[in-house]
Amino acid sequence: MTTLVLTAHGSADPRSAANTRAVAQQVARMRPEVDVEVAFCEHNSPGLVEVLNGCPGAAVVSPLLLADAYHARVDIPGQIARCAASHRVCQADVLGEDDRLVSVLRQRVTELGVSPLDDTLGVLVVAIGSSNAAANARTAEVAPKLLADTRWTAATTAFASHPEPSLAEAANQLRRRGARRVVIAPWFLAPGRLPDRVQRFARGAGIAMAAPLGAHRLVAATVLDRFDQAAAERVAA
């Protein structure tokens, strides 16, 4: 049996780890025949190397990450290389800008009481951001995707970890493009310290902010798709 090791970055905020475990539970409910384990790169236990060393057979490390940046490209592969049976381990792709996740984000916005037909609305997608420009460019694709099947005026992206454009500047850009009202759509999987910082900005600016993607069924479905693809490629190789 191939073990699915759902691997998150980890956080000092316990809500983040709780969300990771909730996603793992959702994955296990959807695919009860698959052994699902949770691991973290840092901050939380168990660590990825520890979990991989305890797997009895082959394992697929499935990153619970949205962006294909440092943690997916450097951190996780480095930890896989340090485990005792690295030859039995492969790594799945990150979740990325999957259309299903964009649909969850759209749902989170409408949960604020926003109508998809509101043509006065501008949506500010806020993501973590990366030092990898290509990863940021892919993340920026979420905003135009979010407008599909709506009449919202405009959407744009800002990165919480980057100074430019600031969240305030990005919101003003939307207003200059015709939005009379702005909401924030957080491109985050879970609550945490960085989303809290965005929430503080939103409160101060009088802007409503949607919930993160969370442990939605479509998040779990995307994890399983990445797992299936990696497991199939491993068998083919």
Q: Are residues 201 and 108 in the same domain?
A: yes
Q: Are residues 220 and 200 in the same domain?
A: no
pLDDT of residue 177: 96
Q: Are residues 52 and 105 in the same domain?
A: no
Q: Are residues 103 and 203 in the same domain?
A: yes
pLDDT of residue 235: 76
Q: Which CATH number do you get for residue 32?
A: 3.40.50.1400
Q: Are residues 120 and 88 in the same domain?
A: no
Q: How far apart are CA 63 and CA 58, in angstroms?
A: 16
Q: Are residues 79 and 133 in the same domain?
A: no
- Residue for token digits 């990771």? 20
Q: Are residues 113 and 184 in the same domain?
A: yes
Q: Which CATH number do you get for residue 140?
A: 3.40.50
Q: Are residues 121 and 182 in the same domain?
A: yes
Query: What Cα–Cα distance (Å) separates residue 136 from each residue in 69, 91, 111?
Result: 9, 21, 26
Q: How far apart are CA 138 and CA 131, in angstroms?
A: 13
Q: Are residues 103 and 204 in the same domain?
A: yes
Strand partners, 63: 7
pLDDT of residue 157: 96
Q: What is the pLDDT along the chain (237 residues), one digit of tens a residue?
A: 899 999 999 999 999 999 999 999 999 999 999 999 999 999 999 999 999 999 999 999 999 999 999 999 999 999 999 999 899 999 999 999 999 999 999 999 999 999 999 999 999 999 998 888 999 999 999 999 999 999 999 999 999 988 788 999 999 999 999 999 999 999 999 999 999 999 999 999 999 999 999 999 999 999 999 999 999 997 776
- Residue for token digits 């998150």? 8
- Residue for token digits 């939005």? 179
Q: How far apart are CA 127 and CA 159, in angstroms?
A: 5
Query: What Cα–Cα distance (Å) separates residue 209 from each residue in 61, 110, 114, 165?
Result: 32, 11, 11, 18
Q: Are residues 103 and 91 in the same domain?
A: no
Report the number of distinct structural domains present in the chain: 2
- Give the containing element (helix H, strand E) for 6: strand 3-8
CA dihedral 11, 15, 21, 22 (to 10 degrees): -150
pLDDT of residue 218: 98
Q: Are residues 192 and 107 in the same domain?
A: yes
Q: How far apart are CA 143 and CA 156, in angstroms?
A: 5
Q: Is the dihedral of CA 187, 197, 151, 134 positive or negative?
A: negative
Q: Are residues 115 and 200 in the same domain?
A: yes
Q: How far apart are CA 147 and CA 139, in angstroms?
A: 15
Counts of helices then strands in the chain (DSSP H, E): 10, 8
pLDDT of residue 237: 65
Boundaries of domain holding 16: 3-96+215-236
Neighbour count for residue 159 (Cβ, 10 Å): 20
